Amino acid sequence: MATISFDLVSPENLVFNDEVGTIIVPGKDGDLGILPGHSKVMSSLRPGRVMVYSEDKNLIKSFFVSGGFAEINPEKCIVLAESVVEVNSLEKTSIEKEIQELENKDGKESEEQLSVAKAKLEAINVNYYDKI
């Protein structure tokens, strides 16, 4: 079984860089599952989960990204994300609080933050496969 090299890059640093089996990224129009040998795609991302699976299809890591871009070619997948957090380190209560605070605010900026925070909450609650 082949592998594909995967880079997850945030403006501050290189978050993840390894050979993996499968990656699922949250494309703007729907999730993209990327396997080795994927055709060339450039996609922008919505806030959501980036899930990394090993060669034998076990979940290695899952990240929350607040949007960004993915560049995919047969050997390599690069995700440029504005902010990256590991899903395990997200705390439900603090996000719920953040959402409440943001809901009381007006303005375009807080609206954007709100949608990101809601996506975060969804990322924690959503069902996913530990093994595919």
CB atoms within 10 A of CB 60: 16
Shortest distance in whole angstroms from residue 13 CB to another protein: 4
Query: Does 107 interact with another protein (rule: CB under 8 A)?
Result: no
Contacts of residue 37, defined as CB under 8 A and 6 or more positions apart, other chains included, come to 2, 4, 74
Structure tokens at 6: 């995967």
Shortest distance in whole angstroms from residue 84 CB to another protein: 11
x-or-dash string of contact with another protein, 63-102, rule CB under 8 A: ----x-x-x------x-x-x--------------------
Name the residue nearer to another protein (CB basis): 111 or 130.
Answer: 111
Map the footprint of another protein across residues 28-47, applying CB under 8 A: 28-29, 32, 39-44
Name the residue nearer to another protein (CB basis): 113 or 124.
Answer: 113
Name the residue nearer to another protein (CB basis): 59 or 78.
Answer: 78
Phi-psi region of 4 (alpha: psi -120 to 50; beta: other; left: phi over 0): beta
The enclosing H or E element of 51 equals strand 48-53
CB atoms within 10 A of CB 63: 23
